[in-house]
């Protein structure tokens, strides 16, 4: 049977010429093999001086392009490692490029042919080694980063902490920004609030930053122990090699002050549970009639007060939920937030909260209900712009390959551009893979994991933990008379 063959040859160094792997020798042997088989050579794709550690090579790009255009039905190499030295890349080319386009792959030296039963079995073996390679690379990278952190080096990346520059693998103090860091810690420690400190920094021209400071970014500076010479990775702090900007004493005093002020802020509003809402369902309740939010309040009649005093009870007030726009009588004063009113009744806080917790416990016992929730959920992440950009990149690469193939531009001039485009392509693909990981099955599994401890928390009568549970699982509760509709939080 006559085949249209694409011959691929590669050398990474000049030394391979002496080892019998030169471009000329590979090409000659492969062409002779085709003559013996009476196969037609469509093209010889050459990558001279390119490493086999990845597939970002001009000759490989042209080969893949012609495979997808169905110009050839067989890819022939002298040795398997000429295609790639990476098991992962080899498997990708064979399965996702060659097999997907009905193109056979043959390695002359190993007698490897994917059109045969033995060759197909070898693909399965390759996939095992590819998975092992991926895991080994991930483990080596993780251990390498832990090793760097233990040695005191910053983890790196495009964004160094404000106050430092990342130079030659190390953090070096940025003198201008470091002064701002000292100002933030000192003025907060001297009593200035976060809001006032943020406004002051911006009024001074947000020195050292291209954009304005925000409450969150100022708080991040105050929380960051990089400024006392620490580095951290995977939640563990290590002694760093870089110079500290502030003293450990000032940093630790600021951490205590942050906690003290936050606790004081909640206490100011008579919340007995710092960091947790006073009412479990505050912010979650909506009226099914007028659409208004519902808030928690406390009130009592003179009769209830008298009965409580007889029983020597400390609290005379009854907690309940009502529409926020309803005229309410609290401590004897009439208050109306809006002129329009709603006829939705008030709800006992204890009864309503108990009912909501019962719904959560029921959901925890029926994972199939959780699965159905996410099957109905539409995809939230818009991946179309990412896919469109991927197509644009593919088209750009093809245009460069056409120019290279026609001889109108040298390989040296297009190498940098193609490498840059491939880097962007890889980043976009990673983004799409991450979006795919947030599919219905994964999200449902995460929600079921959160529900696993629901029964224990509900039985504990710990109002703080119950409130956290409710707020993590529920997005909205809609009330209309005796009917209650729960909108579950599907963003997992």
Q: 77-103, pLDDT tens digit by residue? A: 998 888 887 777 888 898 889 989 999
**Helix (H) or strand (E) segment spanning residue 390:** helix 384-406
pLDDT, tens digit, for every residue of 461-473?
Answer: 788 889 989 998 9
What average pLDDT does range 205-216 have in this prediction? 82
What average pLDDT does range 154-165 have in this prediction? 79
Most confident of 30-39, 109-118, 317-326, 383-392: 30-39
Q: Is the pLDDT of residue 184 over 60?
A: yes
- The answer to which of 51-55, 79-83, 238-242, 424-428 has the lowest mean pLDDT is 424-428
List C-alpha distances in Å: 214 to 259, 266, 440. Answer: 20, 22, 35
Q: Where do the domains of the chain lie?
A: 4-136, 164-268, 285-377+446-488, 384-437
φ and ψ at residue 126, rounded to 5 degrees: -60, -40
The whole-angstrom distance between residue 185's C-alpha and the CA centroid of its chain comes to: 31
pLDDT at residue 13, rounded to an integer: 62
Rounded (10°) angle between helices 58-68 and 384-406:
110
What average pLDDT does range 147-175 have in this prediction? 80
Q: Is the pLDDT of residue 212 over 80?
A: yes
Q: Which residues pair with 48 in a beta bridge?
A: 11
Comparing C-alpha atoms, which of 104, 68, 95 is closest to residue 397?
68
Architecture of domain 4-136: 3-Layer(aba) Sandwich (3.40)
Query: Does the 164-268 domain belong in CATH 3.40.50.720?
Result: no
Pairing of strands 170-173, 230-233: unpaired
Q: Count CA atoms within 13 Å of residue 177 on its CB side.
A: 16
Tell me if 4-136 shares its fold with 164-268: no
pLDDT at residue 317, rounded to an integer: 59
| Residue 221 CB contacts under 8 Å (≥ 6 apart), including other chains | 162, 163, 181, 184, 185, 227
The whole-angstrom separation of Cα 82 and Cα 48 is 11
List C-alpha distances in Å: 12 to 21, 83, 402. Answer: 10, 12, 23
pLDDT band at residue 221 using 50, 70 and 90 as cut-offs: very high
- Report pTM: 0.35
The region, left, alpha or beta by phi > 0 then psi within -120 to 50, assigned to residue 106 is beta
As a dihedral over the C-alpha atoms of residue 430, residue 431, residue 437, residue 439, rounded to 10 degrees, the angle is -150
Q: Catalytic: which of 4, 12, 127, 324?
A: 12
| Annotated catalytic residue 12 | yes
**Helix (H) or strand (E) segment spanning residue 391:** helix 384-406
Give the chain's radius of gyration (CA, Å): 33
The whole-angstrom separation of Cα 450 and Cα 442 is 13
pLDDT at residue 335, rounded to an integer: 39
List C-alpha distances in Å: 291 to 324, 348, 477. Answer: 10, 20, 11
CB atoms within 10 A of CB 482: 6
Better-scored residue on pLDDT, 441 or 128: 441
What average pLDDT does range 285-308 have in this prediction? 73
What average pLDDT does range 193-202 have in this prediction? 88
Checking 421-427 for CB contacts under 8 A at 24+ apart, the result is 421/393, 421/396, 421/397, 422/56, 422/397, 424/389, 424/393, 425/390, 425/393, 425/394
pLDDT at residue 333, rounded to an integer: 38
């Amino acid at each position: 049977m006559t085949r249209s063959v694409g011959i691929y040859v590669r050398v990474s160094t000049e030394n391979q010429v002496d080892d019998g792997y030169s471009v000329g020798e590979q090409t000659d042997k492969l062409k002779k093999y085709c003559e013996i088989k009476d196969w037609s050579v469509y093209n010889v794709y050459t990558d001279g001086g390119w490493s086999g550690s990845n597939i970002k090579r001009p000759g490989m790009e042209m080969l893949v392009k012609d495979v997808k255009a169905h110009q050839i039905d067989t890819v022939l190499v002298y040795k398997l490692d000429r295609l790639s030295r990476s098991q992962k890349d080899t498997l990708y080319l064979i399965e996702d490029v060659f097999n997907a386009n009905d193109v056979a792959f043959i390695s002359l030296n190993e007698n490897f042919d994917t059109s045969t039963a033995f060759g197909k079995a070898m693909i399965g073996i390759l996939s095992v080694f590819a998975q092992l390679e991926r895991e080994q690379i991930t483990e080596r990278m993780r251990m390498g980063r832990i090793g760097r952190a233990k040695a005191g080096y910053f983890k790196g990346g495009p964004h160094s902490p404000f106050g430092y520059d990342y130079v030659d693998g190390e953090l070096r103090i940025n003198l201008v920004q470091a002064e701002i860091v000292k100002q933030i810690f000192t003025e907060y420690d001297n009593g200035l609030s976060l809001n006032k400190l943020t406004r002051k920094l911006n009024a001074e021209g947000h020195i050292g930053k291209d954009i304005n400071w925000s409450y969150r970014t100022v708080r991040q500076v105050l929380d960051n122990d990089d400024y006392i010479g620490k580095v951290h990775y995977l939640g563990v702090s290590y002694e760093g090699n870089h110079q500290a900007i502030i003293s450990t004493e000032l940093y630790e005093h600021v951490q205590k002050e942050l906690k003290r002020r936050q606790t004081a802020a909640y206490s100011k509003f008579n919340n007995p549970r710092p960091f947790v809402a006073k009412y479990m369902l505050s912010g979650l309740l909506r009226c099914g009639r007028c659409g208004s939010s519902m808030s928690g309040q406390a009130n009592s009649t003179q009769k209830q007060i008298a009965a409580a005093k007889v029983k020597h009870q400390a609290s005379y007030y009854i907690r309940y939920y009502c529409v926020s726009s309803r005229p309410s009588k609290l401590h004897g004063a009439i208050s109306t937030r809006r002129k329009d009113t709603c006829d939705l009744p008030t709800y006992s806080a204890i009864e309503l909260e108990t009912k909501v917790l019962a719904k959560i416990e029921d959901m925890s016992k029926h994972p199939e209900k959780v699965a159905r929730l996410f099957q109905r959920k539409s995809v939230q992440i818009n991946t179309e712009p990412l896919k469109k950009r991927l197509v644009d990149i593919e088209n750009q690469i093809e245009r460069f390959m056409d120019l290279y193939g026609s001889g109108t531009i040298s390989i040296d001039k297009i190498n940098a551009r193609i490498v840059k485009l491939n880097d962007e392509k890889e980043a976009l693909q990673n983004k799409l893979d991450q979006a795919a990981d947030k599919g219905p099955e994964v999200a449902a599994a995460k929600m079921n994991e959160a529900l696993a401890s629901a029964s224990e928390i509900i039985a504990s009568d710990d109002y703080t933990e119950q409130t956290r549970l409710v707020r993590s699982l529920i997005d909205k509760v809609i009330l209309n008379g005796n009917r209650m509709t729960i909108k579950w939080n599907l963003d997992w």
